[in-house]
Amino acid sequence: MVRISKKPEERKKELLNIAEKLFLKQGFDDTSINQIVKEAKVAKGTFYYYFKSKDEILSSILKRYIDNIEKEIKKISNEKSDAHSKMENIFKKLFYTQIEDNRFTQQFKSDTGYKIKAKLDKAFFNKFQPIILNVIKQGIEEKVFNTSYPQRISEILLLGIQGYMHNHYLYTADKQTYNSNIKAMEELLTRTLQAKYKFNLTV
């Protein structure tokens, strides 16, 4: 069989895609490097050319995941629109991203899942807290938000809502509970920011 030569970035992307698919299908702990290279139809040395270990390819998958979300959030924050609209759209995106995040991490066994969740949470905070802070400051200037502590409020909103969603919001398929949680999030944002207009987080 003729071996197909691919560009380095294309080959690396292929390995990431295959590893992610296998991790989701059978779990991180139950997926071996041998299975990844077999699926990719490459030698084991090819894997080690791009990644030092299975943990490293997982870190690369998570980085790609976060980077893609960051692009979308930055796109929202850079729009020429009012702060209220920006905040509303950012939190809509973050909420529904968290659903996918949970579906992703639930595929892993408990110990690994907790480690992944910790990495994701840290990356989410570091990437998105400064963006939310800037939107809060814009809202204060526009007089649609009212707080003397924009830095602290941005941290509390992101950490608090993120933690609540992990513990309650994402684990229920009950429509009534789902809607109640959305309404609670809307009220929390509205009151915490002393927003001039109520938030609507329904998609």
Q: Give the domain ranges of the chain.
A: 8-50, 61-192
Q: Is the pLDDT of residue 4 over 50?
A: yes
- Express each pLDDT in 67-102 by its tens digit: 888 899 999 999 999 999 999 999 988 877 766 655
- Express each pLDDT in 27-75 by its tens digit: 888 899 999 999 999 999 999 999 999 989 988 988 888 888 889 999 9
> For a pLDDT cut of 90, what percent of the chain falls above it?
51
Q: Return the CATH class of domain 61-192.
A: mainly alpha
Architecture of domain 8-50: Orthogonal Bundle (1.10)
Question: HEC profile for the chain?
Answer: CCCCCCCHHHHHHHHHHHHHHHHHHHCCCCCCHHHHHHHHCCCHHHHHHHCCCHHHHHHHHHHHHHHHHHHHHHHHHCCCCCHHHHHHHHHHHHHHHHHHHHHHHCCCCHHHHHHHHHHHHHHHHHHHHHHHHHHHHHHHHHCCCCCCCHHHHHHHHHHHHHHHHHHCHHHCCCHHHHHHHHHHHHHHHHHHCCCCCCCCCCC
pTM of the model: 0.80
* Predicted pLDDT of residue 2: 43
